[in-house]
């Protein structure tokens, strides 16, 4: 269906407000939900309030801006709501924003990019049908880039998949006797925890579970658990032992914090479908050679974070189990995107899809 309303023209004040909304959106946490910013623009072109969405389960950007206006007693007649994503039209964990905007009596809405989801889309049409002046497409490219992972996950109807591998110079993730802690240095491990805070779920396989018994929690450099914890998923057809650390989460005395997920399958598609049904928009696979190979073989890796330490391990396990690639013509090629870690440690974040962090 054609997008509702017009594609402009836009005033200079609307463009300034959209830039402010984009900046505000960047303050949000990327995850199951997109990052979104919303700016309320006065009739005379002054920027009145700027709100943003703080992550899944919290109020939407438009609601944040409306709440600020309410608290400040700002009159809303003649104002324009400028938002980086089409206002939602559903009642999920929050919302619907389109109805809140209509109820507030705001006469004009400008958004950058459409929300194409079945659940939340259609807010623009709803507003236009109810007599609100709706325009879209202002700074659309910037707004799309801001949520490129989220848009990709929507198109694929599965969570965005990042694969993390910490390996030796010779592509091993453990020594011959199975010892693996630690191959990379402290800066790479700190970066790994920063990655964990940005995803909705971390996934490992049964092999890694039995070998390393990882907790899969997100922690600060000093070891304290971070406020936002991802799901901890184990993909294995075998039972997960009752005393596995992954079951206990950040509080060892709380046996079940609701974040542990057992995925009793070897099929990564099935695993992703189950995670998606729990609202996971971005999963980090930190799973060991078998799980890494399972996702790579099915072309399910959107992004690879490769940490390569200057160490040789010789006979240890290869980072990725055999993929059945027999000749160079069948090699999987990636676009490499070098990034520097704090402390000058080089790493390579190779991005398989055409999108950036
Ligand atoms: C908006 N404004 O700030 C955001 C929107 O689970 P919920 O209720 O938070 O809804 C999430 C969906 O709403 C999300 O998948 C996306 O389609 C939309 N996000 N919409 O109007 C916002 N974050
Ligand atoms: Zn909303």
Residue 251 has a pLDDT of: 67
Mean pLDDT for each 10-residue chunk of the chain (357 residues)?
76 98 87 86 97 88 97 96 95 82 97 90 94 97 88 88 91 93 82 81 93 86 79 96 88 74 97 93 91 94 86 94 94 71 44 31
pLDDT in tens, 63-87: 999 999 999 999 999 999 999 999 9
* Distance (Å) from CA 53 to ligand 2 centroid: 9
77 in a known ligand binding site: no
Nearest protein Cα to ligand 1, atom 15: 33
Kindly give the number of the ligand 1 atom that is closest to the alpha carbon of 91.
8
Residue 6: in which H helix or E strand, if any?
A: none
β-bridge partners, 304? 163, 350
Residue 339 has a pLDDT of: 58
Contact (CB, 8 A) for 275 and 233:
yes
Catalytic residues: 62
Measured from the alpha carbon of residue 56, the closest ligand is 1
Integer CA distances (angstroms), 62 to 2, 108, 109, 116, 214, in order: 23, 13, 11, 18, 39
CB within 5 A of ion ligand 2: which residues?
A: 60, 88, 95, 97
pTM of the model: 0.76
2 in a known ligand binding site: no
Contact (CB, 8 A) for 304 and 350:
yes
Q: In the 8-state DSSP scheme, what is residue 318?
A: B
Residue 31 has a pLDDT of: 59
Nearest protein Cα to ligand 1, atom 22: 60
Q: For ligand 1, is residue 286 a contact (CB within 6 Å)?
A: no
């Amino acid at each position: 269906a054609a997008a509702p309303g017009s594609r402009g023209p836009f005033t200079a004040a609307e463009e300034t407000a959209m830039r402010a909304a984009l900046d505000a959106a960047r303050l949000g946490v990327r995850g199951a939900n997109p990052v979104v910013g919303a700016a309320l623009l006065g009739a005379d072109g002054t920027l009145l309030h700027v709100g943003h969405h703080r992550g899944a389960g919290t109020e939407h950007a438009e609601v944040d801006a409306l709440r600020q206006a309410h608290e400040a007693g700002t009159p809303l007649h003649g104002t324009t709501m400028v938002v980086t994503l089409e206002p939602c039209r559903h009642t999920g964990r929050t919302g619907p924003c389109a109805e809140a905007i209509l109820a507030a009596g705001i006469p004009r809405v400008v958004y950058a990019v459409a929300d194409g989801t079945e659940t939340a889309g259609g807010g623009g049409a709803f507003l236009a049908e109810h007599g609100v002046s709706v325009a879209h497409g202002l700074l659309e490219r910037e707004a799309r880039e801001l949520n490129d992972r989220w848009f990709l996950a929507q198109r694929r109807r599965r969570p965005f998949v990042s694969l993390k591998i910490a390996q030796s110079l010779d592509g091993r993730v453990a020594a011959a006797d199975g010892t693996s802690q630690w191959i990379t240095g402290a800066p790479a491990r700190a970066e790994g925890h920063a990655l964990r805070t940005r995803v909705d779920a971390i996934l490992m396989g049964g092999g890694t579970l039995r070998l390393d018994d990882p907790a899969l929690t997100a922690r600060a450099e000093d070891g304290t658990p971070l406020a936002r914890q991802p799901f901890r998923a184990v993909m294995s057809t075998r039972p997960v032992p009752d005393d596995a650390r992954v079951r206990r989460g950040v509080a060892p005395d709380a046996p079940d914090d609701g974040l542990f997920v057992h995925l009793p399958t070897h099929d990564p598609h099935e695993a992703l479908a189950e995670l998606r049904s729990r609202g996971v928009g971005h999963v980090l696979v930190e799973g060991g050679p078998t799980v890494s190979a399972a996702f790579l073989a099915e072309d399910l890796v959107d992004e690879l974070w490769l940490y390569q330490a200057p160490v040789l391990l010789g006979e240890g396990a290869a980072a990725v189990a055999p993929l059945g690639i027999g000749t160079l013509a069948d090699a999987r090629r990636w676009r490499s995107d070098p990034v520097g870690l704090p402390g000058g440690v080089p790493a390579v974040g190779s991005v398989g899809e055409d999108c950036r962090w």
